[in-house]
Chains A and B, each alone.
Chain A
Amino acid sequence: MATDAQLFEWLCRMGDNALVLGHRVSEWCGHAPVLEEDIALANTALDLIGQTQLWLGLAGEVEGAGRDADALAYRRDVLDFRNLLLVEQPNRDFGHTMMRQFLFDAWHIEMLSALKGHDHEQISAIAEKSLKEVTYHAERSADTVIALGDGTEESHTRMQAALDRLWPYVGEMFLSDDTDRAVCDPAPLRAAFDARVNAVLAEATLTRPDSDFAHKGGKTGVRHTEHLGHMLAVMQFLPRAYPDAQW
């Protein structure tokens, strides 16, 4: 049984993953290689921001200190963020963006499936709602990784480079501490993740890196990469500069 403090921490982890990745993906809006991809990326970002509102909204209720989802998203600094290091990595090229999405989706879909039916009614409901959207994301990112991995020489090279660069951020998704175990331990989800990822990488003619070395420190907030602060500086500018701004 999770304490309120653990529950708040865990909800921030879920919410911050969706928020940071949602913001990253939204950076493509107006810049994607073709219109259809631009729309697909914007839609994915929108789903993730919607999920953020649900997770961080609940986090604010559990905390009981009067902070809502907006306050948590816009008025915390880097060290308070609890997202995985993977999702704060910069977009680089379209290949990196889609590889990051694929690796995250493959974890996300297992995590949400495990949370659906959770004893905590609201967690279960948010997971059930999000799972429908994420199933769609996972289908698209896997298709894209296959199409580009098994595509031209250049697209293959770029996808392999993206996989090699991002693989060291996979391990953190399955690390667990007392906070995770109090709500839902991600460690047992690794086998299903590996099966899904291996099948897609094989079809994409991409080589899974040998080393399972994992960077960590994102979801515990101990050590984010340099990229998160820059991202927050952009994302939080408006509400920090104009605290009373209303739509």
Chain B
Amino acid sequence: MVTVQPSVADVWEWLDAVPDPEIPVISLVDLGIIRDVAWQDDTLIVTVTPTYSGCPATTIINLDIETALRGHGIEKLELKRQLSPAWTTDWLSEKGRAKLEDYGIAPPQPAGGPQQCPHCKSQAVERISQFGSTPCKAQWRCTDCLEPFDYFKCI
């Protein structure tokens, strides 16, 4: 039997349809944690980097990748963990950043704080806490519309 290997581009597309388990509006590709997709003979190697070393979503992410790719008929699959270069929010896609803001999470900014309130777009914002509901977020508040919101930490 001759089977045709799916192209690497197809695999990237499939992975771009796998949502982040904590922030389901963005995909794993948007998040920038898929570092490489390659065939080694008949085995597909997907290289993944963790966002935070203790992020409990990491296990679920690996499971979701495996489930999605098995669903597309991939039989021999290997997930590789890569620590270096360490994940940075610079790897978030533009599409991902826009989706985060629409969802109510201010995307990361090099200045170290959100540019504006994701709800009313006011620039009058203040920090409530350096940490938030997941390792990748901090809590901020808009002093105009008074809504608290998550800010995706810039690292």
Query: What is A's interface to B at a CB cutoff of 8 Å?
Result: 36-37, 39-40, 43-44, 46-51, 53-54, 121-122, 124-126, 128-133, 136, 139-140
Contact = CB atoms under 8 A, between A and B. Distances in A.
Given A46-B52, A128-B85, A39 B129 contact: yes
Interface of B: 50, 52-56, 83-87, 128-133, 135, 139, 153, 155
B128 A36 contact: yes
Nearest to A22: B54
27 contacts: A36-B139, A39-B129, A39-B133, A40-B129, A43-B131, A43-B132, A43-B135, A46-B54, A46-B55, A46-B56, A46-B135, A47-B53, A50-B53, A50-B54, A50-B55, A51-B53, A53-B53, A54-B53, A122-B83, A124-B84, A126-B83, A128-B83, A128-B85, A129-B50, A129-B53, A129-B83, A132-B155
Contacts, number: 68
A132 B88 CA distance: 9
B83 A39 contact: no
B69 to A, nearest CB: 23
A126 B129 CA distance: 27
Q: Interface of chain B, helix or strand or loop or mixed? A: loop
Contacts of A54: 53, 83
A115 to B, nearest CB: 12
Contacts of B55: 46, 50
Residue among B85, B128, B135 having the largest count of chain A Cβ atoms under 10 Å: B135
B49 to A, nearest CB: 9
Contacts of A48: 54
A23 B129 CA distance: 22
A165 B155 CA distance: 34
Contacts of B135: 43, 46-47
